[in-house]
Structure 1
């Protein structure tokens, strides 16, 4: 029998055509509705490979049900939705989609920074709602971006790409990361700082750190209080890195000037969430990598990784480097 692949969302046929020529492929019928948990478990029991989205929790239950599973191809750079330790123990490869979305996500991150600082969304709604009756010197006046100080928390590849864009606006670039980046410092003039120094000095604090036990609620009430009252906070990493109640309190108390968010603790965010009532919030539905070109490239990389594993080859982007493949009979 041919290996069986289950895909947890409907994706373009062009992506899976090559897989269908070699394997049996089935996918969930909806593009915008997550696959129900019970169906995912049932499919995992039959599957040799799963192509998953961030919305699916690939936990021990799924991995234990998947007795034949050889690979989880997660359509994202992040993989906090996958129990990598259990997958490794069960000799299941976990793959992600780095690199192909770096520039696209950096574009969106900087666009979110600009939209928040210049009150673009608020201004657009002002016009649409018929509120623009006259011109005045400080009508919807925002803050300059050029020549300001940007602080990037998490200087991975996306962080480096954001820093490159910031250099075009002649911004001073501060960064905090687990390791220093001499190349970025040399090429862009970025300056490594402690976390506390960054949040106290930066006009724009951009969160691009991965979600770990150490970074969960990294941005809490005490951190927001240390920021400038004119500071703008941007999160394009993972929602749980931010304590949303603390952010709401910081914004309503005037501790910071505004926030641009592409991610939230619970997604999709409820329309009655307190943050969405604030005029100085720009909220996006987790679209950091959402361009036609990049989403196609991400899915193609997932397909390539699955094909490689099922054919006994090394995948292109392996997360669990200590993965040991099952010995084929």
Structure 2
């Protein structure tokens, strides 16, 4: 008699290709209506589960839920590359494996970073609004005007896989590239970007600053009033990494004072309940966390999570084990 399949809770709706695979390999409880689950709902559904497949919106995994999980839960797979929403230390203490999904969303997120750069610089928000609201009455040599991207200086904060992919794309715009990272990357991965060991050294060289670092205790709130003051006047900040890296008060002050020309944001602190002041600013290009939001990428993320689960229950070390 074949052994019983592992029991799996999936907290959000996933692409059908992924759900089909999970339903065949596991006794999977899927989230058919895609409604976010509360901590109480997750704990109730997890009572008889061996594994959980969660998303970055399941923030209770950073705030105490892991200590309350039943002993049957042996692995938590997160449908994301970032894992700041999971208390890794608490998982280690409970001997619960945690995995993520790196690599597969690099290109999609780098594409969004370039979209943010272009959208912020060229006034995509107010330009589209003019057309949609029928306020485009004539062509003018002087208004409205955006800002050039080609040939400008781009500073990349965080030169991991996504930062490297941003640099590669920015080469096509003949941008002068700079980067700050904990350590320099190999020259062939820097795409001609100049390394700055100290962030303060890079900031004066940034007509554009692209935030591509992970959210950690050291980087949360890093883009603050002090950092913004060291950028050139009229600089543009874009963030496709994590919302809590930016101090909203400082960014909004820079945008309203004229210190910053514009910003492009795909991620926000406390999303989707973003700071409402952003909605009233014409010099901010806003997206609803679309970094990995392509069909191919989301399928690849789900398959990567499934690969990690399969390896774990086959007695192998998952490729993306974090604990």
1:192/1:40 Cα in 2 relative to 1: closer, same or farther (>3 Å)? same
Match of 1:120 in 2: 124
Q: Cα deviations across residues 145-200 of structure 1 (Å, max 9, x unaligned)?
A: 11110000000000000000111111110000001113246x62110112112222
Deviation of 1:112 (Å): 0.9
C-alpha spacing 1:44/1:172, structure 2 compared with 1 (3 Å): same
- Is the contact made by 1:16 and 1:303 (CA closer than 8 Å) also made in structure 2? no
Give the CA deviation at 1:63: 4.3
Change (3 A) 1:164 1:295: same
1:140 match: 144
The correspondence for 1:78, drawn from 64, 78, 82, is 82
CA contact (8 A) 1:6 1:27 kept: yes
User: What is the Cα-based RMSD across aligned positions, in Å?
Assistant: 1.5
- Secondary structure in 1 aligned to 2:260? coil
Q: What is the rounded CA distance, in whole Å, between the counterparts of 2:9 and 2:298 in structure 1?
A: 19
Name the count of aligned residue pairs.
Answer: 317
Q: 1:36 to 1:130 in 2, by over 3 A?
A: same
Aligned with 1:257: secondary structure?
Answer: strand
- State the Cα distance separating 1:124 from its structure 2 match: 1.1
For residues 180 and 140 of structure 2, what CA distance do their matches in structure 1 show?
40
- 5 Å-filtered alignment, 1:96-175, equals 96-175=100-179
Q: Which runs of 5+ in 1 are unaligned?
A: 321-329
The superposition leaves residues 236-295 of structure 1 with CA deviations (integer Å, 9 ceiling, x where unpaired) of: 11111111011111111111111100011111034x711221000011111101001001
Partner of 1:50: 52
Corresponding residue to 1:277 among 277, 280, 290: 280
Change over 3 Å in CA distance of 1:281–1:121 after alignment to 2: same
C-alpha displacement of 1:19: 3.0
**Does the 8 A contact of 1:4 with 1:24 survive in 2?**
yes
Partner of residue 313 from structure 1, selected from 306, 312, 316: 316
- Determine whether 1:224 maps to 2:232: no
C-alpha change, 1:288 and 1:22, in structure 2 (3 Å) is: closer
Q: Spell out structure 1 runs of 4+ moving beyond 4 A.
A: none
Structure 2 unaligned regions, length at least 5: none
Higher deviation after alignment, 87-96 or 103-112: 87-96
Distance in 1 (alpha carbons) for counterparts of 2:138 and 2:85: 50
Q: Retained in 1: the 8 A contact 2:158–2:211? A: yes
Q: In structure 2, how many angstroms separate the alpha carbons of the residues matched to 1:237 and 1:252?
A: 23
Query: How far apart are 1:61 and its partner, in Å?
Result: 2.4
How many angstroms apart in 2 are the aligned matches of 1:21 and 1:240?
A: 38
Shift of 1:201: 1.6
Q: Structure 1 residue 41: deviation in Å?
A: 1.3
Q: Does 1:92 align with 2:96?
A: yes
Provide TM-score, normalisation by structure 1: 0.92
Tell me the secondary structure at the aligned position of residue 18 of structure 1: helix
- What residue is the counterpart of 2:32 in the other structure? 29
The alpha-carbon distance between structure 1 residues 36 and 227, as it changes in their structure 2 partners (threshold 3 A), is same
Residue aligned with 1:233, SS? strand
Aligned partners of 1:312, 1:25: CA distance in 2, in Å? Answer: 19
